[in-house]
Amino acid sequence: MTQLRVALLRLSKAAFDVVLLDLTLPDGLGITVFDQIFEAAPRALILVLSGASDEELACQAVQRGAQDYFAKGHIDARWLPHALRYVMERKASQDALRDSEERFRAMSDASPLGIFVSDAGGDCIYTNAAYHKISGLNFAQALGTNWSMAIHPDDRQRIVVEWRDAVRGHEPFQAEVRFLREDGSIVWTRLNAGAMRDGLTSRGRVQTVEDITGRKTVDRELALAKEALFEEKERAQVTLNSIGDAVLCTDILGNVTYLNPVAETMTGWKAADALGRPLGEVFRIIDGITRQPADNPAQRAIAENKVVGLAVDSVLIRRDGVESAIEDSSAPIHNRDGRVSGAVIVFHDVSEARAMAQKMAHLARHDFLTTLPNRLVLTERLSWSISHAQRHHKQVALLFLDLDNFKDINDELGHVIGDRLLQSVAGRLLECVRSTDSVFRQGGDEFVILLDEIERRQDAAQVAEKLVAAQLAPHRVEGHDLHVTLSIGISIYPDDGLIPDALMKNADTAMYCAKANGRNNYQFFTAEMNSAAAGRRGPPSANQG
């Protein structure tokens, strides 16, 4: 009988496939002998030899890892090899099964997919490490539980119904569902399940569980981004459709890509018809003064990569030929890489504004009642006439006119009749002068006439006589025959002054002398008039006729 000490020594130096162990050795006894041998040779096939008295110990050894036990009294040389061969074959099968299970477990635990194996009733018989991480349950907690217990209560009923339909139809099961962990956290998962069959009999199902929380988060963020982009696009569309300005966009080649409703109205092109057409065909603009085609603002914005404005006096020709004055600006459109990908033109109709500006400019320089140029224009033109006459050695005549007896008519018949009379007088004055001469309303019932480039003083006298004669015929106003006459004062450049103020002052002085001499006449300025005017308290009021 080998001693335990010797057996352990030999087991430490070499590997043995089979160990026949007697639990009653000279230096060892009982179950502790098996424990030491099993520790020394855990991969060996251990067969325990037991007597009638220690059969209970042999059973304990089998429970601790022994392959089997034999009764000492029933072993013979012929039977033992057969028994050993059987036990060794069984051990090899068990080892192969254990190795297979270990490989499966290793592969299963290395997989990022959770694995949940259930029996035919749906209760857990196996889970891997990934499932434990996803569900928050360890193996002991998951074992024996129904596969649906980890699912969020709000999703559970729906998923169970889908599961049962798949089972009844013998079809694979797939679903996206939330897991609710014990700590209250939620994990989005994708479930795939299929049946384990033994022939036609179902032995249970294998379910893979994939953590798709990250993908769901990305999907949710992407959905929110798409929704935000859609809302932003809708807001932009509503804004572009609501603003009063026309908006037109082109691509890098200058083809139309967008028109808002105002642009459709102003160009006469529907967006559906304009898209893809060259900008010059849809947005036809010309110089309102030269009538020549204007520069394309979109092409300039693209070429110069900056905001550019439309040329002044630009006119848009609508598709049906109707013209409208416009103002606009064009800016480049950039893509995500910062490169120019097109241009946007924003324009609006300024026909009314431009007409109003012209009207206001006209009113600022013309009398509202008679439409004659006013005192501001008189000063400018008199200065220009003096400069021109000086260069060409000519004379300039300035005639100051005042209506005689106008105040009486105005007081008796009212301002409306008085205004109509002033308009009639202005018309007759214009008929008495050359196209190169100018008639101005100084204010009240005073008018001024500028005669350019006269050769001699007598030229001014002839015009003055014509003016006096033109007023002799009555003016027919609102059923009234009104009679007015003129008192005219005349100053001549360069004899009566070299600057506008001097000429205007002296013509005014001569006009008051004409009134003092009985009205309805004209007087040339003389130096003596200034002395006479100085002796008076002041000139008579023009309104007093």
Contact between 68 and 55 under an 8 Å Cβ cutoff? The reply is no
Using the 3D structure, point to which of 62, 86, 105 is the last residue of a domain: 105
C-alpha angle 250-255-260 in degrees, rounded to nearest 5: 50
Q: Quote the pLDDT of residue 295.
A: 84
Hey, what are 23's tokens? 């639990």
> Residue 313 falls within a domain, yes or no?
yes
Q: How far apart are CA 327 and CA 288, in angstroms?
A: 12
CATH code, domain carrying 13: 3.40.50.2300
Burial of 202 (0-12, 13-18, 19+ CB in 10 A): middle
Tell me what the mean pLDDT of segment 373-387 comes to. Answer: 92
> Residue 240 falls within a domain, yes or no?
no
Closest CA to 248 of 273, 288, 275: 275
Same domain flag for 383 and 466: yes
pTM for the model: 0.48
Q: What is the pLDDT of residues 16-32, one digit of tens each?
A: 878 888 887 888 888 88
* 3-class DSSP assignment, residue 67: coil
Q: How far apart are CA 278 and CA 274, in angstroms?
A: 8
Q: Quote the pLDDT of residue 305.
A: 92
Tell me what the mean pLDDT of segment 154-173 comes to. Answer: 85
Q: Quote the pLDDT of residue 540.
A: 44
Using the 3D structure, point to which of 211, 228, 256 is the last residue of a domain: 211
- The count of other CB atoms within 10 Å of the CB of residue 416 is 11
Q: How far apart are CA 91 and CA 38, in angstroms?
A: 15
Q: What is the pLDDT of residues 188-210, one digit of tens each?
A: 999 988 887 766 666 788 888 98
> Residue 360 falls within a domain, yes or no?
no
Q: Quote the pLDDT of residue 543.
A: 41
Q: Quote the pLDDT of residue 309.
A: 83
Closest CA to 343 of 419, 424, 253, 433: 253
Contact between 324 and 318 under an 8 Å Cβ cutoff? The reply is yes
CATH code, domain carrying 167: 3.30.450.20
Using the 3D structure, point to which of 196, 211, 226 is the last residue of a domain: 211
Tell me what the mean pLDDT of segment 69-77 comes to. Answer: 66
Q: How far apart are CA 511 and CA 495, in angstroms?
A: 17
- The count of other CB atoms within 10 Å of the CB of residue 399 is 26
Same domain flag for 155 and 131: yes
Hey, what are 487's tokens? 């008192």
Find tokens 């360069």 and name the residue: 494
Q: What is the pLDDT of residues 473-528, one digit of tens each?
A: 999 998 899 999 999 999 999 999 999 999 999 999 999 999 999 999 999 999 88
Contact between 372 and 426 under an 8 Å Cβ cutoff? The reply is yes
Domain range for 494: 366-544
> Residue 265 falls within a domain, yes or no?
yes
Same domain flag for 374 and 519: yes
Burial of 162 (0-12, 13-18, 19+ CB in 10 A): middle
Q: Quote the pLDDT of residue 539.
A: 45
Q: Quote the pLDDT of residue 86.
A: 65
Instruction: Measure CA 443 to chain center.
Output: 57
Same domain flag for 500 and 396: yes
Hey, what are 208's tokens? 């893979």
Contact between 488 and 404 under an 8 Å Cβ cutoff? The reply is no
Instruction: Spell out the residues 6+ positions from residue 19 whose beta carbon is closer than 8 angstroms to its own.
Output: 7, 11, 37, 41, 44, 45, 46, 47
Backbone angles phi, psi at 254, to 5 degrees: 85, 15
What is the overall mean pLDDT for the chain?
85
Secondary structure element (H or E) that encloses residue 228, with its range: helix 213-242
Same domain flag for 413 and 531: yes
Tell me what the mean pLDDT of segment 34-52 comes to. Answer: 82
Same domain flag for 409 and 494: yes
Q: How far apart are CA 182 and CA 188, in angstroms?
A: 15
Same domain flag for 31 and 91: yes
Same domain flag for 533 and 386: yes
Hey, what are 122's tokens? 């749906």
> Residue 198 falls within a domain, yes or no?
yes
Q: How far apart are the first and last CA of the chain?
A: 165
How many separate domains does the chain show? Answer: 4
Q: What is the pLDDT of residues 235-285, one digit of tens each?
A: 767 767 777 789 999 999 999 999 999 999 999 999 999 999 999 999 999
Q: Quote the pLDDT of residue 24.
A: 79
Same domain flag for 346 and 260: yes
Q: How far apart are CA 283 and CA 361, in angstroms?
A: 30
Tell me what the mean pLDDT of segment 211-235 comes to. Answer: 82
Computed over its alpha carbons, how large is the radius of gyration of the chain? 58
Q: By mean pLDDT, which of 4-13, 60-69, 191-200, 358-367 is the weakest? A: 191-200
Q: What is the pLDDT of residues 411-429, one digit of tens each?
A: 899 999 999 999 999 999 9
108-129 CB burial, b ≥16 within 10 A, e <16: beeeebbbbbbeeebebebbbb
